A = this chain, B = another copy of it.
Amino acid sequence: MSEKTIPDHAVWPGTVHNGILSVPSGSHPAPQRGFDVAEFANRLARAQQLMAESGMDAMLITTEAEFRYFTGFLTQFWQSPTRPWFLLVPASGQPTAVIPGIGYPPLAQTWIEDIRTWTSPQPQDEGVSLLAETMHEILGDRARVGVPMGPETTLRMPLADYDRLRAMVPGFSFHDATEVVKTLRMVKSEAEIEKIAHICRIASDVYDLVPSIATPGQPLVETFRAVKIELLKHGADDVSYLVGASAPGGYDNVISPPGNRPLTEGDVLMIDTGTVYDGYFCDFDRNWAIGKADPAAKHGYATLFEATNAALEIARPGATAGDLFRAMQKVIVDNGYACGNVGRLGHGLGMQLTEWPSHTNADETILVPGMVLTLEPSLDMKPGQGMVHEENFVLRNNGPQLLSRRAPEQLPEVH
């Protein structure tokens, strides 16, 4: 994109932080779309190793992220609820796709060779008998089949069809495969990290433009619209998620679309985007005071900045998601606040806006290099008046590498 105007980051403190790598501004070439076949072969090999360890003969995949993880099949068509899509990942050998006919041309362009289709929609037998037949052909009459059934998973096929499928493969038993897909997807390859880093840079560049976009009196919906347009102009493929709020002194609703209320002096404006490049998300927010920043908002903001520092300082391989939570929570509580209503202080991200793990006191997921995580401390200044702050990083052997360009150390003002 040629018309980018990159502001001078030197005017904003906090861009470089304690030796943690910062994100350069300026133009950045887009990473290659898609992945080499070696990436998929490696994913499959890792999956088959994990499946062997848990005694599974195959996994049955029905969801967008997992289907794409193993095949590379990228489409927004999953928004249509009409047709299920199935992928059988066997304990050895190549995956087999059982899909609606409309998907054949794009799936045939991926590394998947065994593709079976039915004419869909066909609600009286929406791929179920073809899937059952394929399972018998590949797995025989008895098999242990993994299906993700645990936290953060769903089954993307009608429940009645799932029951019908199980009745058609009576020798098969179905077991929870959440740990397999979670273990695989939590650790990103360098090619995946490059895509996330790219979209994080784009969002960082656009957030830097907000003081020149937003003005007091502007309806929030128009601020958001302008930000979405800038994200696209800067190279985002899609602005899948852009939420936020602007409210006097702070906000407590952090997941809503914008309304028509104009930005008003005394507001804190928050914008949070999960913007996408080649199927990979960033997920971080920024805050601005509309007009002169209120001391309470400044203190809340400074606390969140300090909480983020505390987590960055201990984010090392071997630490846990719970450690990150506790480091942030301590700063928030020591500064006299309660944590906000978000329920966690960060999470994984990648092919989805949010992924495992969650930074909660109870999540003792051990951090390993290659994990891409948010740090998302939030607090309540008073009932109904809170703030949330968010950064994205990838964990390296020696600590965190920021993927979002660090937010300014003090609450920036929009005039």
Residue of B151, B228, B260, B343 near A158 (CB, 8 A) is: B151
A254 within 8 A of B: yes
For residue A224, give the distance in angstroms from its CB to the closest CB of chain B: 9
A170 within 8 A of B: no
For residue A78, give the distance in angstroms from its CB to the closest CB of chain B: 9
For residue A41, give the distance in angstroms from its CB to the closest CB of chain B: 23
A80 within 8 A of B: yes
List the B side residues contacting A75 at CB < 8 Å: 243, 255-257
Copies in the complex: 2
Residue of B104, B119, B147, B253 near A105 (CB, 8 A) is: B253
CB atoms of B82 and A347 under 8 A apart:
yes
CB atoms of A121 and B257 under 8 A apart:
no
Most B CB contacts (10 A, CB to CB) among A159, A176, A242 go to A159
List the B side residues contacting A147 at CB < 8 Å: 159
Residue of B nearest to A228 (CB): B232
Tell me the chain A residues, 97-125 only, with Cβ under 8 Å from chain B: 100-106, 109, 119-124
For residue A52, give the distance in angstroms from its CB to the closest CB of chain B: 22
A155 within 8 A of B: yes
Q: Provide the A6-22 mask, 1 if CB < 8 A to any CB of B, else 0.
A: 00000000000000000
For residue A365, give the distance in angstroms from its CB to the closest CB of chain B: 11
Tell me the chain A residues, 204-233 only, with Cβ under 8 Å from chain B: 221, 225, 228-229, 232-233
Binding stretch for chain B, among A86-94, A194-202, A353-361, A406-414: A353-361
A252 within 8 A of B: yes
For residue A140, give the distance in angstroms from its CB to the closest CB of chain B: 24
Q: Assuming the A-B contacts A154-B158, A158-B151, are A102 and B229 also in contact, with contact meaning beta carbons closer than 8 angstroms in the complex?
A: no
For residue A9, give the distance in angstroms from its CB to the closest CB of chain B: 26
Q: Provide the A135-169 mask, 1 if CB < 8 A to any CB of B, else 0.
A: 00000000000010111111111111000000000
A130 within 8 A of B: no
Q: Assuming the A-B contacts A102-B341, A360-B121, are A237 and B255 also in contact, with contact meaning beta carbons closer than 8 angstroms in the complex?
A: no
List the B side residues contacting A221 at CB < 8 Å: 237
For residue A129, give the distance in angstroms from its CB to the closest CB of chain B: 15
A274 within 8 A of B: yes
Residue of B119, B160, B352, B355 near A176 (CB, 8 A) is: B160
A179 within 8 A of B: no
Q: Assuming the A-B contacts A160-B176, A342-B102, are A259 and B153 also in contact, with contact meaning beta carbons closer than 8 angstroms in the complex?
A: no
Q: A residues within 8 Å of B by Cβ? A: 33, 74-77, 79-83, 100-106, 109, 119-124, 126, 147, 149-160, 176, 178, 221, 225, 228-229, 232-233, 237-243, 252-257, 259-260, 274, 341-344, 347, 352-355, 358, 360, 362-363, 384
